[in-house]
Structure 1
Amino acid sequence: MPDDDHSVISARDAKRLFADWKDVPAIVLAVSGGPDSIALMWLAARWRRNLARGPRLIAVTVDHGLRAEAAREARDVKRLARALDLPHRTVRWNGAKPKTGLPAAARAARYQLLAQAARTSGATHILTAHTRDDQAETLLMRMLRGSGIAGLAAMARQSERDGVLLARPFLHISKSQLVATLNRAKIGFADDPTNRDMNFTRPRLRALLPALAAEGGDARNLARLASRLARANAAVEVLADGAERYLALREREASRPGFDAGIAGFKVFDFEAFAAVPEEVRVRLLQRAIDRFGPEGPAELGKVEALLSALDRASATTTGGKRPKLKQTLAGALISLVDGRIRIEQAPPRRRRGD
């Protein structure tokens, strides 16, 4: 595919972009009516027509009920879907809307509604139109929040959400290429004014991108950084898998035959063996166990890091030959350090006032 940000995406390019999903039974296309998602629908429909056999495509529009124009835009998407011989559904986010954290709440509702539509339609995948520009913005947002390696890997090409696979074929494609493709095909699209509303974080970061690009931090380089961080994150996950198996083996050897702490409803690590593992891997092992047994997760990275520091301090302050002790709750999990072992299990219910 040409590396020109304003180049048109050809039928051959589309075949390559959607190739990973040619054998799945059905796909939901998330189509809001903006240029990115309209391009997704148009390119996917053209790709499917050129296949002898391929997945059913179902276009789904989420109306968040936040803008008066949204209903009209959904009808416009339906008309275009009909012209492309695609079934279309509009699903609505009903109920009261939060006064704070609206973008995050709307995003969560959107994915939940899309997943419901996919299950109803027998679709295994949801395709979204996130672009390289979106990836760069996501990286910046997470960087400013102090995310770890996993967060800075930004959006994955494919991930699981609510029991459905969420796929993003355009993560290495610029938004301007999608707009150029629609202009060449003479296909209209909606303009969502909230994309320019400076009350929200993404539009403010978007406004900074030209200045960052002048210093070399353009969307292509930021997306490349996210890709490299995703590669590093995958490598650390492999190390964490190996460390988890090693620590489990150590625990089985020290316990009764057939003992498996995970199956028993708790996780146990030998403290000395755990302390010998690299810090990033230890953080992940704690986070995995807390998220597994703590019903209030996922645990925040900063709080897991603080817990690891507390464990290290407890070990460093041991005196008189006594083994260190620690007991702490996090995300609904109880973490104990007793007799040289770290034990993680679900915390007992909190006592209510008056009990």
Structure 2
Amino acid sequence: MSDDDNSPISAREAKQLFAGLKSAPALVLAVSGGPDSVALMWLAARWRRSFSRAPRLLVVTVDHGLRPEAAREAREVKRLAAELGLPHRTLRWRGEKPKTGLPAAAREARYRLLAETARKAGASHVLTAHTRDDQAETLLMRMLRGSGLAGLSAMARLSTRDGVVLARPLLDVPKSQLVATLRRAKIGFADDPTNRDANFTRPRLRALLPQLAAEGGDARSLARLASRLARANAAVEVLADGAERFLRLRDRGDASQAAGRSFEASAFALLPEEVRLRLLLRAIDALGHEGPAELGKVETLLAALDRAIAADRPASRRAPANGRAILKQTLAGALISLAGGRIHIAPAPARRSKGR
């Protein structure tokens, strides 16, 4: 992309943005009507016209039912899509809306509706218009929440969600370039006031970005940091994969594996802390039945396991006669125990209802 953050995106640059999607059968474009997503639609339509055999494009607008202007904005997107020769659908998030955590709930509903539409349309990808500015804001939000390395990697260019690939072709593009592109093409766009609503975390952080930029922490620098953290995270994932294979080879034929996962405690303790943490997270998320485990709780569990393994080390050379667990804890619907020199992770028994 151009080094000038205020220059319109050229046709050549647009081809580079969408180059990896040329062989897809169909693509769903998530377009709200704001400048980022309208630019995504306009650039994708121009890119598609540049070659004969191109993916089918379907423009989708999700009306969350939270603002009266949303229906009008969806109609405007439909009008512009028609001018570009693209089909359009409006999806509505129906039902009662939560009183707390509304942005997260709306985001989950949006992705669910987009993925459902993509599967029905035979589309392999859903394209969203997340920009470099969005990446910087996401990194800041996750830093403040104390996310681990995986969370600080922020948004990936490609990820899988509900059986559909979620693509963010504009992730390295500043918002200002998209606005400049639309202005040159003389295309209008909507202004969503919730993007400046200080009741929500992201707009509050967005307002701080100019001050951070003055100290060298502009969107470019923050996005670069997220990219470097993603690279480190990928390396740790490879180490965790290797460690998991190593532990399973040592445990080949162990009958306890059938009921869940089991690690030799002494071998587990030799691994780096971040790798041990990821192995626990993987096992708990795979075998638990109460959703993803919270990182902080798994860190607390790992610290307790490490202390128990250290205390049990002389005795771990021989299994206790009664098989009594030294440590036993449930987390996210998984049962984790240490007994006989081994760590066991299995589904936890279902909780009894209070009425019984």
Question: Which bracket does the TM-score occupy, shorter chain normalised?
Answer: over 0.9
Confirm or deny: 8 A CA contact 1:131 1:173 kept in the other structure: yes
Encode CA deviations 1:71-113: one digit per residue, 9 max, x unaligned: 0000000000000000000000000000100000000000000
Aligned to 1:34: 34
The answer as to 2:39 corresponding to 1:44 is no
Name the amino acid aligned to 2:273: E
Name the amino acid aligned to 1:295: H
CA–CA distance in structure 2, aligned partners of residues 319 and 194 of structure 1? 56
Confirm or deny: 8 A CA contact 2:60 2:91 kept in the other structure: yes
Aligned to 1:329: 330
Confirm or deny: 8 A CA contact 1:23 1:54 kept in the other structure: yes
CA–CA distance in structure 1, aligned partners of residues 161 and 309 of structure 2? 39
Aligned to 2:269: 275
Aligned to 2:341: 340
**Alignment identity in percent?**
74
Partner of 2:60: helix, strand, or coil?
Answer: strand
Instruction: Provide the aligned length of Structure 1 versus Structure 2.
Output: 349
CA–CA distance in structure 2, aligned partners of residues 61 and 160 of structure 1? 20
The answer as to 2:289 corresponding to 1:295 is yes
CA–CA distance in structure 2, aligned partners of residues 152 and 319 of structure 1? 35
Name the amino acid aligned to 2:299: E
Aligned to 1:135: 135
CA–CA distance in structure 1, aligned partners of residues 336 and 256 of structure 2? 18
Quote the offset at 1:320 in angstroms: 8.0
Quote the offset at 1:319 in angstroms: 8.8
Encode CA deviations 1:285-340: one digit per residue, 9 max, x unaligned: 00000000001121111111111001011123349847771110000000011101
Written as runs of structure 1 = structure 2, the 5 A alignment for 1:187-206 is 187-206=187-206
CA–CA distance in structure 2, aligned partners of residues 35 and 287 of structure 1? 39
Aligned to 1:102: 102
CA–CA distance in structure 1, aligned partners of residues 326 and 250 of structure 2? 21
Encode CA deviations 1:175-232: one digit per residue, 9 max, x unaligned: 0000000000000000000000000001100000000000000000000000000000
Aligned to 2:120: 120
Which ranges of 4 or more aligned residues in structure 1 deviate by more than 6 Å? none
CA–CA distance in structure 1, aligned partners of residues 214 and 313 of structure 2? 57
Name the amino acid aligned to 2:81: A
Aligned to 1:3: 3
Written as runs of structure 1 = structure 2, the 5 A alignment for 1:145-164 is 145-164=145-164
Confirm or deny: 8 A CA contact 1:290 1:297 kept in the other structure: no
Confirm or deny: 8 A CA contact 2:260 2:287 kept in the other structure: yes
Name the amino acid aligned to 2:342: R
Quote the offset at 1:265 in angstroms: 4.0
CA–CA distance in structure 2, aligned partners of residues 127 and 85 of structure 1? 18
Encode CA deviations 1:17-65: one digit per residue, 9 max, x unaligned: 0001000100000000000000000000000011111110000000000
Decide whether aligned partners of structure 1 residues 160 and 319 sit closer, same or farther in structure 2, where only a CA change above 3 A counts.
closer
Aligned to 2:310: 316
Decide whether aligned partners of structure 1 residues 167 and 135 sit closer, same or farther in structure 2, where only a CA change above 3 A counts.
same
Decide whether aligned partners of structure 1 residues 51 and 315 sit closer, same or farther in structure 2, where only a CA change above 3 A counts.
same
The answer as to 2:49 corresponding to 1:55 is no
Q: TM-score, normalised by structure 2?
A: 0.96
CA–CA distance in structure 1, aligned partners of residues 354 and 18 of structure 2? 56
Name the amino acid aligned to 2:45: A
Partner of 1:98: helix, strand, or coil?
Answer: coil
CA–CA distance in structure 2, aligned partners of residues 2 and 343 of structure 1? 53
Quote the offset at 1:260 in angstroms: 8.6
Partner of 1:243: helix, strand, or coil?
Answer: helix
Written as runs of structure 1 = structure 2, the 5 A alignment for 1:177-192 is 177-192=177-192
Partner of 2:90: helix, strand, or coil?
Answer: strand
Partner of 1:317: helix, strand, or coil?
Answer: helix
Quote the offset at 1:173 in angstroms: 0.3
Aligned to 1:93: 93
Confirm or deny: 8 A CA contact 2:18 2:169 kept in the other structure: yes
Partner of 1:314: helix, strand, or coil?
Answer: helix
CA–CA distance in structure 2, aligned partners of residues 353 and 73 of structure 1? 48
Confirm or deny: 8 A CA contact 1:30 1:127 kept in the other structure: yes
Quote the offset at 1:2 in angstroms: 1.4
Quote the offset at 1:16 in angstroms: 0.3
Partner of 1:66: helix, strand, or coil?
Answer: coil
Quote the offset at 1:14 in angstroms: 0.5
Name the amino acid aligned to 2:308: A
CA–CA distance in structure 2, aligned partners of residues 92 and 321 of structure 1? 61
Decide whether aligned partners of structure 1 residues 16 and 251 sit closer, same or farther in structure 2, where only a CA change above 3 A counts.
same
Confirm or deny: 8 A CA contact 2:266 2:313 kept in the other structure: no
Name the amino acid aligned to 2:149: I
